[in-house]
Chains A and B, each alone.
Chain A
Amino acid sequence: MRHAIVAFVMLAVGCADVTEPYELDHARVIAVRTEPATLAPGEAGTVAVLVTGGDGPRVVPADGLAVTVPAPLAPYVAVTRGPDGWTVVAPTAAQLAGLRAALGVPATEPAAVPLTITTTVDGVALVAHKWTVVDATAPNPTIAGVALDGVVAPVLRAAAGSTPRLSVTHDAGPAAVVRWLSSVGELAQYQSADATLDAAAPARGAIVVVVRDARGGVAWQIVPAEVE
């Protein structure tokens, strides 16, 4: 019995990252957001997707996305692409029972719409999933500012060889999950509200912060950064 557990633990904790998760060096999805974060029955929300790739972090335009829901949910959830981008319309109150039945969710649990987003970045096909809860309307959190050593500026500037602190001001509450990403320097504690930038060598790029709240709400901010 023991050898199975030890092997299990080694597999779990012994996997080293080759590319660090804070790096913005290759094509991948960073976050998906619906606006508002949770939808009231019958309410419509828009879908936005933040990606990174060779051109750095950016929000994908609507014509570069495809948003779908599983076929069994099509009678209850409408997903369309219009001039304002991709829109998802939550089921009405009368349709919620059908949605729950299709998802296998009991009546006591909140229903959520699983969205599948596909896009292509740098020739790489990417797939992302986002669950949007159907309940009372709730907004996404907001980011008031991103600071480098306490200084908020349109461009974050650090001296080469310094290790300034990154911080974010948001309204996502104490349960918020903060993720930092950067194409300059190296980041430490990038999974916490306050990260540290190791600005070893001169570089230009961007720093991204993503804040997630407990209701599925998402906010992000892309800030140009320079190490001089």
Chain B
Amino acid sequence: MTLFVAETGQAVVTDAAGAFTLPAGSGGITVVVVGAGYLDRTIELDARDAGPLRIALEAQAVDAAEVIVVEGERVRPAPGAAQLARDEITRVPGARGDLLSSVKNLPGVANNGSLTPFSAGLIIRGASPEDSRILVDGFEVPILYHFLGVQSVLPSEMIDSLEFVPGGFDVAIGGASAGIVDVRSRHGARAWGGLAEVSFVNGSGLIEGPLGERGSFALAARRSLIDAILPAVIPADADVAFTAYPRYYDYQGQAEYHVDDRLTLAGFVFGSNDGFDVISSAANSGDPAAAGGAANDTSFTRAIASATWATPRSRVRLAASGYTDTNHFRVGRDRYLLLDRDGAAARLELERQLARRVVVTGGAEVDATRNQYDIRFTRPPREGDPTPPSFTYDALLAMVGSSTNRDVGAWAAATVRPGPAEVTAGVRLDGDLRGDHWTAQPRARGKLRLDDATTLQASTGLYARPARLLDENLQPDLVPERALNSSLGIERRLADQLTLQTTGFYNRLSRLTVLAGDRRDPMSEAGYRNVGTGTGFGLEALVTYKSPRAFAWLAYTYAHATRVDGPGAPTRRFDYDQSHNLIAVGSWRLGAWQLGARFQLTTGKPYTPVQGAEFMSDVDGYQPVYGAVNSQRVATQHQLDLRVDRRWRFRDWSLALYLDVANAYLNAAVVDYSCNFDYSQRQAVTTLPILPSLGVRGEL
């Protein structure tokens, strides 16, 4: 491998082990790494980066096994943040090769199972899924996973990097009061290549190649196969009939062109669709209006274009996005929720090194969304409300209309690096023009290198999430929810291949949106109020081991999250409060074989006990009598996942076969309870007892 210093033209050749030494400079330098069979990689460094540095090079074909990931001291953007290496993550057992699904293996993320009503979002540091944002190339996507977490909406092959920040992210990101998942799309290789894969879960394909003299492209698509399998497994005498079997698909197209050494143009178009339509002849005694079936049609599209101009001291990125979202749901014969959104957003990011130890950043973004709705539905259940939704007895929201959201944001920050320390401070201003709500959010973080192996990090700041969840959007007077998030962490290299990262966090939440009144009372049209408060605190630890033939990590999270639903209300556990979450992952390469195992042990989810029920004679139904909200927990959950990969290499292509078995010892863990019509009996809602995925993958 050869490393070129762009500013001086100096070339440095690595030794047989891949080691190298770069000359220290007084300012920033741009290093281009070139090696036969691998994609060129450009890295910007400055004087503060003196010390061990590891650089990953990606093979020109999309063979994930050929990605060289070299360990190094990463500059974490916030305590507890993690950047995932694709070659490891795609081999984590239970994740079915899905990079985004593997985020759930990191500290700070609660275990919400797979294929359960609670598993579709990310619960980060005791916050609701809606409090976090998923960004792709700087723009939000509405969902992260297909079908309750079975697969993410972006295949691993289209992801260049994924940064998971559970809190303390900088001022460049708004609209989230908990964590972010920041995904950067992957550009295609300059050499022609491709892959095809079929598993029990889905089939997918990818093709990539050159685009002109200085560009590349990649096209990919994926479709679930469950609609091919379901007809074979549903009993003939079942009282359900699918008009459309559950299915999903997603697609991606990416192109990048380097106009010159400084200007890069890129475009990324991607989308996703999930749907099903089931008709049922079964009666639903507890909720007659829900009888008859259910249907779902959810999709989104995103088109992102960007221009990035970069020099050793400056970086400017201008990006624009057009988008559409469709959320159509039907339950029973006349309960439906039809939401359609379309809009456009733009984002400008600026970065400039003013002096040797001073960097300033800034930017602005605008987002205009048109919402159209046709609703005949009940209010959705809120966090902390144990009452199951009833399409028969709940008060109906019935309305047709449209609205427009106009959001603006701007930010500025400065980073100074005195000696071994680094301090970044900035402020972000978010404006909701529809509701005329403005929120200033000061944030700061610092880092102190104690010695060559140890770094101390801290962050604090104000974060805000606009009230845009479901029917919150119908009430423009709601102000953004707020969170004052603080964290303190330490990273230490314990040995050459062993690192430890620990982070403590404390989050104080305010202005939480709470339903004022009874969801079932048609006279209770008071709507939502920003009167809730909450706290979350905990400790995260991550020990990682990495060698040429193996990787392993041990992640542990202790967390405690509570909520207060208004002045005078009692303090209660948060719906997703999870005291302990322990994850151990290991994977070993034995020749052409790769063997992996993953074990997870977590505290059971809180639930609200039903103490009885009172009969409502006029509606022939039962109203449950609850005990204290979230005062009990389901049993501790544990799960073992296994994975075996076998690869065959040929002259121009390779073939891989894998078996990924989630929940290998058939422990169907309880995640909640549902009750019968008069609440005299309850039934456990469990995870799937086992989820095997056998797949074959060919790569050019």
Chain A residues at the B interface, C-beta cutoff of 8 Å: 1-21, 26, 28-29, 31-33, 104, 126-131, 177, 179, 189-191, 210, 212, 216, 218
CB of B676 within 8 A of CB of A19, answer: yes
CA distance A10 to B685 in the complex (A): 11
Chain B residues at the A interface, C-beta cutoff of 8 Å: 117-118, 120-121, 129-130, 142-143, 145, 147-148, 274, 283-288, 290, 294, 296, 298, 327, 329, 331, 337, 339, 380-381, 388-391, 468-470, 523, 612, 614-618, 620, 623, 674-678, 680-683, 685
Q: Which residue of chain B lies nearest to A177 when distances are taken between CB atoms in the complex? A: B620
CA distance A14 to B468 in the complex (A): 27
Q: Which residue of chain B lies nearest to A130 when distances are taken between CB atoms in the complex? A: B617
CB of B680 within 8 A of CB of A26, answer: yes
Q: Which residue of chain A lies nearest to B390 when distances are taken between CB atoms in the complex? A: A12
Of B117, B283, B615, the residue contacting A126 (CB under 8 A) is B615
CA distance A131 to B143 in the complex (A): 44
CB of B390 within 8 A of CB of A14, answer: no
Contacts of A26 on B, CB cut-off 8 Å? 680
- Given A4-B469, A8-B389, A17 and B677 contact (CB-CB distance below 8 Å): yes
Contacts of B118 on A, CB cut-off 8 Å? 7
Contacts of B389 on A, CB cut-off 8 Å? 8, 11-12
Contacts of B286 on A, CB cut-off 8 Å? 15, 17, 21
CB of A13 within 8 A of CB of B290, answer: yes
Q: How far is the CB of A28 from chain B (nearest CB, A)?
A: 6
CB of B120 within 8 A of CB of A7, answer: yes
Q: Which residue of chain A lies nearest to B300 when distances are taken between CB atoms in the complex? A: A2
Contacts of B614 on A, CB cut-off 8 Å? 127-129
CA distance A5 to B281 in the complex (A): 23
CA distance A207 to B147 in the complex (A): 43
CA distance A203 to B323 in the complex (A): 63
CB of A127 within 8 A of CB of B615, answer: yes
- Given A6-B120, A7-B120, A13-B331, A19 and B680 contact (CB-CB distance below 8 Å): yes
CA distance A32 to B469 in the complex (A): 40
CB of A2 within 8 A of CB of B120, answer: yes
CB of A6 within 8 A of CB of B129, answer: no
- Given A4-B470, A15-B388, A191 and B618 contact (CB-CB distance below 8 Å): no
Contacts of A7 on B, CB cut-off 8 Å? 117-118, 120, 148
Contacts of B620 on A, CB cut-off 8 Å? 31, 177, 179, 210, 212
Contacts of B674 on A, CB cut-off 8 Å? 11, 14-16
Contacts of B130 on A, CB cut-off 8 Å? 1, 4
CB of A128 within 8 A of CB of B680, answer: no
CB of A218 within 8 A of CB of B470, answer: no
* Contacts A1-B470, A14-B117, A17-B286 known; 12 new A-B pairs at CB < 8 A: A1-B143, A6-B120, A6-B147, A7-B148, A8-B389, A10-B117, A11-B388, A12-B331, A18-B676, A20-B285, A31-B617, A129-B615
CA distance A2 to B682 in the complex (A): 27
CB of A3 within 8 A of CB of B680, answer: no
CB of A3 within 8 A of CB of B617, answer: no
CA distance A43 to B414 in the complex (A): 79
CB of B337 within 8 A of CB of A128, answer: no
CB of A131 within 8 A of CB of B117, answer: no
CB of A9 within 8 A of CB of B294, answer: yes
Contacts of A129 on B, CB cut-off 8 Å? 614-618, 623
CB of B618 within 8 A of CB of A212, answer: yes
Q: How far is the CB of A113 from chain B (nearest CB, A)?
A: 12
CA distance A126 to B612 in the complex (A): 9
CA distance A9 to B683 in the complex (A): 17
- Given A28-B615, A190-B283, A11 and B331 contact (CB-CB distance below 8 Å): no
Q: Which residue of chain B lies nearest to A17 when distances are taken between CB atoms in the complex? A: B676
- Given A15-B388, A216-B618, A3 and B145 contact (CB-CB distance below 8 Å): yes
Q: Which residue of chain A lies nearest to B675 when distances are taken between CB atoms in the complex? A: A15
CB of A5 within 8 A of CB of B380, answer: yes
CA distance A190 to B285 in the complex (A): 9
Of A5, A14, A130, A189, the residue contacting B470 (CB under 8 A) is A5
CB of A1 within 8 A of CB of B381, answer: no
- Can you list 20 A-B pairs, Cβ within 8 angstroms, ordered by A? A5-B329, A6-B120, A9-B331, A10-B148, A11-B388, A11-B389, A14-B117, A15-B674, A18-B682, A19-B676, A19-B680, A21-B285, A26-B680, A32-B617, A104-B523, A127-B612, A127-B615, A128-B614, A179-B620, A218-B617
Contacts of A10 on B, CB cut-off 8 Å? 117, 148
Q: Which residue of chain B lies nearest to A116 when distances are taken between CB atoms in the complex? A: B614
CA distance A75 to B276 in the complex (A): 56
CB of B142 within 8 A of CB of A28, answer: no
CA distance A18 to B129 in the complex (A): 32
CB of A18 within 8 A of CB of B681, answer: yes
CB of B329 within 8 A of CB of A12, answer: no
Q: Which residue of chain A lies nearest to B341 when distances are taken between CB atoms in the complex? A: A1
Of B147, B288, B623, the residue contacting A191 (CB under 8 A) is B288
Contacts of A12 on B, CB cut-off 8 Å? 287, 290, 331, 388-391
Contacts of B682 on A, CB cut-off 8 Å? 18
Q: Which residue of chain A lies nearest to B383 when distances are taken between CB atoms in the complex? A: A4
The interface centre, meaning the residue of A8, A32, A189 with most chain B CB atoms within 10 A of its CB, is A8
CB of B294 within 8 A of CB of A13, answer: yes
Q: How far is the CB of B6 from chain A (nearest CB, A)?
A: 44
CB of A4 within 8 A of CB of B284, answer: no
Q: Which residue of chain B lies nearest to A104 when distances are taken between CB atoms in the complex? A: B523
Contacts of B327 on A, CB cut-off 8 Å? 1-2, 5
CA distance A14 to B676 in the complex (A): 11
Q: How far is the CB of B396 from chain A (nearest CB, A)?
A: 14
CA distance A21 to B675 in the complex (A): 12
Of A9, A18, A177, A210, the residue contacting B296 (CB under 8 A) is A9
